[in-house]
Structure 1
Amino acid sequence: MSDTQTQIENRPPSVAALFAERVAATPDAEAFRHPVPAASGRGPDGWKSLSWSGAAERVYAVAAGLIDLGIEPEERVALLSATRIEWIVADLGVMCAGGATTTVYPSTNAEQSAYILADSGSRILIAEDAVQLAKARERRAELPELRHVVVIDSAGVTAEEDDPDGWVLTLAELEARGAAYLRQHPEAVKKRVEAITADQLATVIYTSGTTGPPKGVRLPHDNWSYMAKAIAATGLLSKDDLQYLWLPLAHVFGKVLLSGQIELGHVIAVDGRIDKIVENLPVVRPTYMAAVPRIFEKVYNGVAAKARAGGPAKYKIFQWAAEISREYSRATQDNFRRTGTVSAPFALTAKHKVADKLVYAKLRAAFGGRLRAAVSGSAALSPELGHFFGGAGIHILEGYGLTESSAASFVNPGEAYRTGTVGKPLPGTEVRIADDGEILLRGPGIMEGYHGLPEKTAEVLEPDGWLHTGDIGELSPDGYLSITDRKKDLIKTSGGKYIAPTELEIQFKALCPFVSNIIIVGANRNYCTALIALDEPTLLNWAKEHGLDGKTYPEVLAAPAARELIQGYVDRLNEGLQRWQTIKKFRLLPRDLDVEHGDLTPSLKLRRPVVEREFQHLIEEMYAGTREP
């Protein structure tokens, strides 16, 4: 057994114990940094630091407050909030009380929120503000087990006559209650933490469900303890890193980052406001950041649009630099694979230095200037985009995992990363490719099962611990995994040909800077078609230069020139495809796909059935007059 494997095996029984170890080891070190709005309400936010001992004081007060409210081991406490410092404090407080956190996205509507609260049997809800509190009030009759709602931001929260006595309290009141409880019972939280076992439930995360109702994934403490040690064992992060965390903590990808941070002791700057990312990055100056592909797509499209707006000469320089960046990234990765050193041919290196001064340095500055690496997960990233950023000095390490595997099962290994793959398995995780190409996983990160759904659990989890991921993939001889598609998303045409739509969609996003989302359609049809949503700001900037200035977005979409523009990119995609893969027709959607309309999950994954149902009339138009078998 290797030292790494020994390290993974010798893990604490719980996240609560891991947190206590960290606080004892580095009590005065900075743990978190969070924004503080300007007093005037105008201007940029300030940032406040919280040490590990300062965090512990709040965490243990929350834990004691929950114990005082009657929370018993493994009882669920739901968290309905955006990513913020209080989310982290509350989550750790729940686990230190021996309870289990049920995570709920703040974008979840009242009906779905009530379903999750009821299905999980949550006894207490910690809600972000008056808006989230209103969801619980609206559906209170359906939530007989919900004893209390704790509100983080009490602005605008008013008492209602039919609120049971003590049903609503603020987070500040809960912490004060906990502090008072600890004065009377100083060992209460310590005893709860010491009593937690590795198989005790820590978290229930509901899959956002691309199809059907969400299922609660039961993740015991050992899943998170393993993840903490395994992330540290990869060597990708150190105690000196500064991570910028904006991902939704209701999602497993965001939450697993906290386990790694507690183990390593580095600083996290936390702010879940997506509209603040561009403003925050140069201020926070992170060394490490995790994101989803859509963020990198938006950054690239924004940079390209800015260059295009600067005139033909500036745009030509950008296009040249982008191509040099991709070429340089491929060359350095290939050379590292062969020789173990990062280098490129002399002529290419010379061009790269020029392009760096003209383009890449500005791009890195926008990310704060210190970013060593960014991890991308949740969906596939276009290799073309990955090479563009990698060649510009922003190395995107793709990873892979599921809620059912505690998020991080694979990640690219530092300098040895390979764009277009999701890297190698974390220490202690096993992988196998089934006969039909499905990826199977086994290891300490695999879930206990689906909450209250033994039949659904049995469908994906074998008795010997192998998890059926539902993803199709391939393993290289030296262990790098490439994801081909979702098993259920594979399209079989009426001619019997199989098509992986995700692969084609990724290729199109890399080709077309105007696209926001695309769905390939063709199951049981005799040819493929596409529904294409465009990025509104990028398209309107293009419109100004092509005689359509002053036109509304729908008017630009309806213009023949806009259709011709996109047709050109579709033709370029088709040039590299087999005949049965080519897109014969497409329709431009009247709006972008988003979470609010239910087109995307809160983690920005595509809900194909929802989109196809909504735009069924456009699909039928594209197949009108064709004969189907």
Structure 2
Amino acid sequence: MREFAVPPVVTIGDAASLTDPVWDNAEAAPDAVQFARRTSHGWVDVTCAQFRDDVVALARGLVAAGVEPGDRVALMSKTRYEWTLIDYAIWSVGGVTVPIYETSSAEQVAWILADSGATACFVETNTHALAVAGERDQLPALGEVWQIETGDLDALGERGASVEAAEIDRRRRAVGAGDVATIIYTSGTTGRPKGCVLTHRNIYSDIANAIPGLNNLFRPGASTLLFLPLAHSFARLIQVGVVTARARMGHTADVKNLVADLQAFRPTFVLSVPRVFEKVYNTAKQRAHGDGKGKIFDRAEAVAIAYSEGLDRPGGPSLAVKLQHALFDRLVYGKLRAALGGQCTDAISGGAPLGARLAHFFRGVGVTVYEGYGLTETSPAVAVNLRKAIRIGTVGRPLPGVTIRIADDGEILINGAVVFERYWNNDEATAEVLDSDGWFHSGDLGELDADGYLTITGRKKEIIVTAGGKNVAPALLEDRLRAHPLISQTLVVGDRQPFIAALVTIDEEAWPKWRASAGYPETDTVADRRDDEKLRAEVQKAVDEANKAVSHAEAIKVFRILPRDFTEATGELTPSLKVKRGVVHKTYADEISAIYGG
């Protein structure tokens, strides 16, 4: 058993709440820009004082509507300014925000509203409103439903005119660190979502202890464009961090136009999941090869990685690498940074492993990606690489105030103020993961090195045991496969089978260019060509590369290309783009059976 603890640098007092920075900022720097709202005329700034006033106005409306301290108020919307505004207004009256992914099915919406006992609900669109309306007979506790797109927020603000602003101040001051701030329902790769109960102390402690080590990101004058769903705890923590540090934040949910939005907003840092970084890299590489500049890009890539690796050695990169790096900075790297707006020098990645090669590539290009680790139950961040403590290939050291222990079976155990209180209405599930000493049993497997850096090696429930008794962690193989420009998603299989195999999907954006280069008609789909020798040879290259990371017994022996990609709409992906292994196993049972001669 190995254990590593980092003492807290900030301790949250009993009277503290997540709304404190909103009022503090409005007093200390009323004219500082806190947010930028997207309008038809471009980005419009919102100052600290304006944001506080917007929060108070909406909070008065909530009081007028009968929302009481402790009431659960659901919020179903894409990432937008109003999401953040509603969140802070709910907290300001002592309420509990219950986020719902805007892509959730009617059945999921009904479950979260019913299980949480939500007394009110904000939705964004008519589709969302209809989803709630169709389940009203199952929701006796649910009162009013307000729709963002129909101007209900303005109407609610007007309704609150009869409520004294002093009442909001009284309500806000009555909220303490131990009070519940939010119930976040895990998107769940298996089973029904469970509601993670997080207090103001949980979240505040997490971000307050992270900011000192990431003060190059979280500081006045910094900015970020948030595009991940705010219903996800990872994005939510960044929201709180931006407000706490008085940085500037914009919101967008239009991922198709993300590059244009980044170039217009020009953030200094971004938050993302590995899949987005993979797409940025793969798109750039594919475009360079398509334009006849493949050799230049490949050389620039190798130099970027060598330069980054050199930063970790005494003396730094060699003179030769530095000279080549300076050349490629003008020819290649600057263009890649321009795709992120030209000012972005840092990024935070979580949700899944990024991979050392990709991390070195981006750092070599001039965008340092700080990989971290956490779970909804831990508010969520428990470890992250920091500006002065970074070790690529790991997820960093425990954040201040967090203790990480590796159990005898390799499971990661977590203790500290970030650990959640309980699952809502589910004592049995709580007892399964939270022991009597306050240790949270993550279900993830990992290793701690002598300096306290954590490496994630797999997930207990995902470990594959072959018929020969070999334990295989699929994540390593899957991550390396997805690094190939043509591959979108993959699932490694082989539990109780004689060998390891993989299901592979083709990236829909990369497919047209590859199809043209192979000389096939524009009408050909992946389904038409999935057994094609040229396509299989291309995927085999990725398999061969992935197999270099494992022993012969763990290597992928057979793969099958699936006719379509995994999507959230078809149920194979969670909203945070994690593969739902159980769903894929069920949907493609025949494909898996065929691999093993069933």
- Report the TM-score when normalising by structure 1: 0.91
State the superposition RMSD in angstroms: 1.7
Q: Contact conserved, 1:11 with 1:229, CA < 8 A, in 2?
A: no
What is the Cα deviation at residue 565 of structure 1?
1.8
Distance 1:528 1:23, change over 3 A: same
- Counterpart in the other structure of 1:279: 260
What is the Cα deviation at residue 235 of structure 1?
3.6
CA distance in 1, matches of 2:329, 2:13: 45
Distance 1:361 1:415, change over 3 A: farther
CA distance in 1, matches of 2:465, 2:72: 43
Matched, 1:604 2:586: no
- Counterpart in the other structure of 2:428: 455
Paired letter, 1:285? R
CA distance in 2, matches of 1:307, 1:347: 24
Matched, 1:344 2:317: yes
- Counterpart in the other structure of 2:205: 226
- Counterpart in the other structure of 1:400: 373
3-state SS of paired residue (2:58): helix
CA distance in 2, matches of 1:571, 1:364: 31
What is the Cα deviation at residue 468 of structure 1?
0.7
Greater alpha carbon shift after TM alignment, 209-218 vs 361-370: 361-370
Q: Contact conserved, 2:397 with 2:454, CA < 8 A, in 1?
A: yes
Which residue, out of 444, 450, 469, partners 2:442? Answer: 469
Matched, 1:22 2:25: yes
What is the Cα deviation at residue 187 of structure 1?
1.3
Q: Contact conserved, 2:10 with 2:205, CA < 8 A, in 1?
A: no
Q: Percent identity?
A: 39
Matches within 5 A, 1:81-92: 81-92=77-88
The count of residues paired between Structure 1 and Structure 2 equals: 591
What is the Cα deviation at residue 513 of structure 1?
1.8
Matched, 1:548 2:520: yes
3-state SS of paired residue (1:198): coil
- Counterpart in the other structure of 1:171: 153
Paired letter, 2:488? S
- Counterpart in the other structure of 1:111: 107
Distance 1:11 1:421, change over 3 A: farther
What is the Cα deviation at residue 219 of structure 1?
0.5
Q: Contact conserved, 1:14 with 1:224, CA < 8 A, in 2?
A: no
Which residue, out of 528, 546, 549, partners 2:500? Answer: 528
Matches within 5 A, 1:584-599: 584-599=557-572
Q: Contact conserved, 2:7 with 2:402, CA < 8 A, in 1?
A: no
Paired letter, 1:592? D
CA distance in 1, matches of 2:528, 2:493: 26
Q: Contact conserved, 2:480 with 2:542, CA < 8 A, in 1?
A: no
Which residue, out of 393, 397, 420, partners 1:424? Answer: 397
Which residue, out of 559, 581, 585, partners 2:554? Answer: 581
Q: Contact conserved, 2:12 with 2:201, CA < 8 A, in 1?
A: no
Paired letter, 2:65? L
Q: Contact conserved, 1:18 with 1:225, CA < 8 A, in 2?
A: no
Structure 2, unaligned runs of 5 or more = none
Matched, 1:623 2:569: no
CA distance in 1, matches of 2:19, 2:12: 17
- Counterpart in the other structure of 1:100: 96
Greater alpha carbon shift after TM alignment, 556-565 vs 244-253: 556-565
CA distance in 1, matches of 2:96, 2:76: 14
Matches within 5 A, 1:210-249: 210-236=189-215, 237-249=218-230
Query: Looking at both structures, which has the greater relative contact order when contacts are Cα pairs under 8 Å and sequence separation is at least 6?
Result: 2
Greater alpha carbon shift after TM alignment, 577-586 vs 490-499: 577-586
3-state SS of paired residue (1:7): coil
CA distance in 2, matches of 1:251, 1:56: 24
- Counterpart in the other structure of 2:487: 515
Distance 1:3 1:434, change over 3 A: closer
Greater alpha carbon shift after TM alignment, 226-235 vs 380-389: 226-235
- Counterpart in the other structure of 2:346: 373
Q: Contact conserved, 1:105 with 1:602, CA < 8 A, in 2?
A: yes
What is the Cα deviation at residue 181 of structure 1?
2.4
CA distance in 2, matches of 1:88, 1:26: 19
3-state SS of paired residue (1:219): strand
Paired letter, 1:328? Y
Matched, 1:58 2:54: yes
Matched, 1:295 2:276: yes
Paired letter, 1:138? G
What is the Cα deviation at residue 123 of structure 1?
0.5
3-state SS of paired residue (1:187): helix
Distance 1:3 1:519, change over 3 A: closer
Q: Contact conserved, 1:4 with 1:233, CA < 8 A, in 2?
A: no
CA distance in 2, matches of 1:584, 1:3: 43
What do the CA deviations read for 1:149-185 (whole angstroms, capped 9, x no partner)? 0110018xxxxxxxxxxxxxx111111112x123xx2
Matched, 1:491 2:464: yes
Greater alpha carbon shift after TM alignment, 18-27 vs 459-468: 18-27
- Report the TM-score when normalising by structure 2: 0.96
Matches within 5 A, 1:431-442: 431-442=404-415
Paired letter, 2:362? F
Paired letter, 1:546? A
CA distance in 2, matches of 1:248, 1:211: 20
What is the Cα deviation at residue 82 of structure 1?
0.4
- Counterpart in the other structure of 1:306: 287
Paired letter, 2:270? M
3-state SS of paired residue (1:278): helix
Distance 1:277 1:415, change over 3 A: farther
Matched, 1:317 2:313: no
CA distance in 2, matches of 1:3, 1:434: 18
- Counterpart in the other structure of 1:161: none
Paired letter, 1:113? V
Q: Contact conserved, 2:182 with 2:198, CA < 8 A, in 1?
A: yes
Q: Contact conserved, 2:213 with 2:388, CA < 8 A, in 1?
A: no
- Counterpart in the other structure of 1:255: 236
CA distance in 2, matches of 1:399, 1:577: 24
What is the Cα deviation at residue 558 of structure 1?
4.1
Paired letter, 1:322? E
What do the CA deviations read for 1:239-285 (whole angstroms, capped 9, x no partner)? 22111111111000011112212221111122222222111111111
Q: Contact conserved, 1:291 with 1:374, CA < 8 A, in 2?
A: yes
Structure 1, unaligned runs of 5 or more = 39-45, 156-169
- Counterpart in the other structure of 1:158: none
CA distance in 2, matches of 1:11, 1:352: 51
What do the CA deviations read for 1:68-116 (whole angstroms, capped 9, x no partner)? 1111111100000001000011000000010000000000011110110
Q: Contact conserved, 1:228 with 1:261, CA < 8 A, in 2?
A: no
CA distance in 2, matches of 1:5, 1:574: 41
Q: Contact conserved, 1:12 with 1:18, CA < 8 A, in 2?
A: no
CA distance in 1, matches of 2:550, 2:181: 47
What do the CA deviations read for 1:436-476 (whole angstroms, capped 9, x no partner)? 11111111111111000011101111122111111111111
Paired letter, 2:88? L
Greater alpha carbon shift after TM alignment, 110-119 vs 536-545: 536-545
- Counterpart in the other structure of 1:198: 177
Q: Contact conserved, 1:228 with 1:262, CA < 8 A, in 2?
A: no
CA distance in 1, matches of 2:398, 2:148: 38
3-state SS of paired residue (1:243): strand
Greater alpha carbon shift after TM alignment, 368-377 vs 545-554: 545-554
Paired letter, 2:93? A
Paired letter, 1:26? A
Paired letter, 1:85? Y
Q: Contact conserved, 1:429 with 1:443, CA < 8 A, in 2?
A: yes
Q: Contact conserved, 2:14 with 2:176, CA < 8 A, in 1?
A: no
